[in-house]
Amino acid sequence: MGERDDQSEVVEKAKIPLLLKDQNVAEEEDGEIKREIWTETKKLWRIVGPAIFTRVTTNLIFVITQAFAGHLGELELASISIVNNVIIGFNYSLFIGMATALETLCGQSFGAKKYDMFGVYLQRSWIVLFLCSILLLPMFIFASPILKFMGQPDDIAELSGIVSLWAIPTHFSFAFFFPLNRYLQCQLKNSVVAISSGVALVVHIFVCWLFVYVLKLGVIGTIATANVSWWLNVFILFTYTTCGGCPLTWTGFSTEAFTKLWDFTKLSASSGIMVCLENWYYRILIVMTGNLENARIDVDSISICMSINGLEMMVPLAFFAGAGVRVANELGAGNGKRARFAMIISVTQSLIIGTIFTVLIIFLLDHVSWIFSSSEAVLKAVNNLSVLLSFAILLNSVQPVLSGVAVGSGWQSLVAFINLGSYYCIGLPLGFVMGWIFKFGVKGIWAGMIFGGTAVQTLILIFITMRCDWEKEAQNASVRVKNWSSVSNAKI
């Protein structure tokens, strides 16, 4: 018995170091995971933080322009609002989408440390978007008859036609601003873009005051202020890029920018279609709501919800940019597992922020609604939509981030088809059926579009990213970088 007790004691003593070793290993692994999460979070927010500021400031240019127009009169406000939201808004979303082609190419090239083609990609994007700007000019030139055809009153359509002609310089600025934005973003120079946007906003406020109140230039002066602000933004970023701010990636103008334009156009077009199909989806919601019996109250209530949703969307859209750059960088560097980890961190943090906003909307919507309207009928209608607004915000905290992952991975064409199918083949018909056939009104239209369109699209993107072979995507990125790079680089 004594020997057996001694052996048991020896065994127990031998187990203690093993248990301590296992515990130390577990603590080290836990500490390593925390360090990786913190490291990735810092890399992500280096992009997301400035991106939020940039998106808010650039959107405020339009908001402030409309605010100054509102002090000129109802007709002036209506005309500038229509031009901003319909004519300029259409091109704004299209060029944002087309410029994301640079996120794929520059992001993956930056990860692969292939810096020599960055400037060529930027110049190709300028060429493609500038040609697109010329093709879209008829929208501005013939804005008045187009708006009349859409059912707008003659006086609003006529003044909007004049305003749209003066908005043409802003239209052309998009072709240069958004490629510069993405070019610098992919090099993690987001602070430069944020500073430029901040300066442009401050100048815009001053120029608005000068043109409207001092020089008394009226509605023409009001829209002209946007031209000054947007081109100032372009000038600052262009000067920074070409005058030594990007020594690794900008080596001068090159004739090679005129090669492979068709391939670049196809990638840009698929990127533009992917983003535009999302952007136009909820614009159609407001148009559909305008055909209901109680149209004025319904349009006012859904417009307020869209305004709140649009402000909150600045956060997930910043994560769209962050996820796109981080995934593209890691894939370009051949790190499939790191790209997957970057995707998980981006989605998780955006979802946490989205959940917080959802809870705030549920409890504070009554107070927020008063900012937009004092009508009891409108406020009641907004409160009836609070649950749907909460679902929209929650879904929007995931869906744009996954779209950013798609951009970083080069899946734009696939996602464009997914958007077309989920939004326009499922969401819109379901919204029509619930709104008119089952007579649920605006709640039915919006619910059908959320659960039939946005939710379906989000689930499909989740399925694709979860099933993705990230190591294979890293190999594909290496091939893409190699194929898009060229040996020659003739300077002008």
**Per-residue pLDDT tens over the stretch 76-105:** 777 777 787 778 878 888 898 898 888 888
What is the rounded CA–CA span in Å between residue 307 and residue 385?
13
The span from the CA of 468 to the CA of 457, in Å, is 16
Contact 454, 444 (CB under 8 A): no
Q: Which token pair is 174? A: 């998009």
DSSP string, 188-229: T-HHHHHHHHHHHHHHHHHHHHIIIIIS--HHHHHHHHHHHH
Residue 415 structure tokens = 């996602």
In this predicted structure, what is the pLDDT of residue 237?
Answer: 96
Tens place of pLDDT for every residue, the chain, 492 residues?
Answer: 555 555 555 445 555 555 555 566 666 666 788 889 899 999 999 989 998 898 888 888 887 887 787 777 767 777 777 787 778 878 888 898 898 888 888 888 888 888 888 899 999 999 999 999 999 999 999 989 988 887 777 887 898 899 999 999 999 999 999 999 999 988 889 899 999 999 999 999 999 999 988 888 888 888 899 999 999 999 999 999 999 899 989 989 988 889 888 988 888 888 888 778 877 777 677 667 766 766 667 766 777 787 788 778 888 989 988 999 899 989 988 999 999 999 999 999 999 999 999 998 888 887 777 766 677 888 888 888 889 999 999 998 999 899 889 988 888 888 888 988 999 999 999 998 998 888 888 889 889 989 989 899 999 999 999 999 999 999 988 888 877 765 444 444
Give yes or no for a contact between 83 and 143, defined as CB atoms under 8 angstroms apart. yes
CB contact at 8 A, 400 and 316: yes
Distance CA 432, CA 140 (A): 31
Q: What's residue 23's pLDDT?
A: 63
Q: What pLDDT, on the 0 to 100 scale, is given for residue 247?
A: 92
What DSSP element (H or E) covers 64?
helix 2-70
Residues ≥6 apart with Cβ < 8 Å to 77: 66, 69, 70
- pLDDT of res. 284: 74
Domain boundaries, the chain: 50-259, 269-485
